[in-house]
Amino acid sequence: MGEPVGIAHIRALILALLLSVPAFAHEIGTTRVNVVFHRDHTWSAVIVEGVKVSRRSGNIPPHAKTFTWRNPKAYATYAITFANEGETPVRQWIEGDATSAPFVLSRAVVPPTRLDVIRQYLVLGFTHIIPHGFDHILFVLGLFLLSAKVKPVLAQVTSFTVAHSITLGLTIYGVVSVSPRIVEPAIALSIAYVAIENLTTQSLKPWRVAIVFAFGLLHGMGFAGVLKDLGLPRNQFVPALITFNIGVEARQLAVIAAAWLLVVCWARTRPWYRYAMTGIFWTVQRVIA
């Protein structure tokens, strides 16, 4: 017995729609791009490709008046929105690897002054350690907790500072290049090593300073990776690099100062805190290790 004509038509319509989806998806694609131009002379982009989300950012060239976008790897038509910070976005459709129509910036971008750069990158150095640099905080605390005496702490922190300053500069200038897939796990291992050595030794050994220096080289590459993602102004490259490093150092010293006050000063007046803090520290060390 045949199907009613109405049901047959509905099934045929559903089948036609299903068959048309791949072709439509191929033409339009699932990529979306949102670009925002910020008042601090930078731009940022969020790229959504299906379930994958990536981000791009950079500095707006001095005196730029328009901005264009091109993705040489795109094959399907996709939507892109441009917006000056605080203004209404403008949408365009781009066919494959074609270049977008020029987007007019709200004003000719004036290069930031040296004071602006110093402020901006000093803050970036601060925030890279607190609140975003938990791994670096753990490492610095590990250096401090071997001994709360001034000489061991000063020797280790100086070694670490000199080392990461060297690789930060060399990596930013392109002299040294190591994949983050190697650097990031190595940084995690450096934290584990310091924690284990703190459990097995009671004083600063000669090799400890040398090992801390080697680990500092790794951490410097990690700092450089973050700084590369943030971007550096070409006309203020050196001040930005130096002030970022100063911001990092200031936050690391703040971490050590806070730990010193907590573990040393407080424990002197209340001896039982010393035992409690030691137990908490060992617990954290063994979990990390």
89 and 207 fall within a common domain: no
241 and 217 fall within a common domain: yes
pLDDT at 128 exceeding the cut of 80: yes
88 and 125 fall within a common domain: no
154 and 197 fall within a common domain: yes
pLDDT digits (tens, 9 = 90+) for 225-250: 888 777 777 678 888 889 988 998 88
Q: What average pLDDT does range 148-157 have in this prediction?
A: 84
128 and 219 fall within a common domain: yes
- Per DSSP, which regions of 13-85 are E strands? 31-37, 42-49, 52-59, 66-67, 78-84
216 and 278 fall within a common domain: yes
129 and 272 fall within a common domain: yes
What percentage of the chain exceeds 70 in pLDDT?
Answer: 77
The CB density around residue 185, as the number of other CB atoms within 10 Å, is 11
* Six token digits for residue 73: 């790897």
Mean pLDDT of the chain: 79
129 and 261 fall within a common domain: yes
Q: What average pLDDT does range 103-126 have in this prediction?
A: 79
Residue-number span of the structural domain to which 103 is assigned: 1-111
pLDDT for the residue 78: 86
pLDDT at 271 exceeding the cut of 50: yes
Query: Averaging pLDDT over each range in 77-86, 87-96, 184-193, which range is the top one?
Result: 184-193
The CB density around residue 47, as the number of other CB atoms within 10 Å, is 17
Q: What average pLDDT does range 150-171 have in this prediction?
A: 89
Task: Specify the length of the chain in residues.
Answer: 289
| Last residue of one domain, picked from the residues 79, 111, 143 | 111
79 and 207 fall within a common domain: no
Instruction: Give the model's confidence band at 59: pLDDT under 50 very low, under 70 low, under 90 confident, else very high.
Output: confident
CA dihedral of 7, 9, 12, 16, whole degrees rounded to 10: -130
130 and 255 fall within a common domain: yes
| Last residue of one domain, picked from the residues 72, 96, 111 | 111
Q: What average pLDDT does range 119-125 have in this prediction?
A: 88
pLDDT for the residue 216: 93
157 and 249 fall within a common domain: yes
* CB within 8 Å of 215: residues ≥ 6 apart: 139, 160, 163, 187, 190, 193, 194
**Sequence-ordered alpha helix ranges (H) in 2-85:** 5-28
pLDDT at 265 exceeding the cut of 70: no
| Last residue of one domain, picked from the residues 111, 134, 166 | 111
Inter-residue contact 31 to 48 (CB < 8 Å): yes
Rounded to a whole number of angstroms, the CA Rg of the chain reads 27
Among residues 139, 167, 166, 144, which one has the least CA distance to residue 155?
144
Q: What's the total number of domains in the chain?
A: 2
165 and 208 fall within a common domain: yes
pLDDT at 281 exceeding the cut of 80: no
What percentage of the chain exceeds 90 in pLDDT?
Answer: 13
Lowest mean pLDDT among 8-17, 93-102, 148-157, 214-223: 8-17
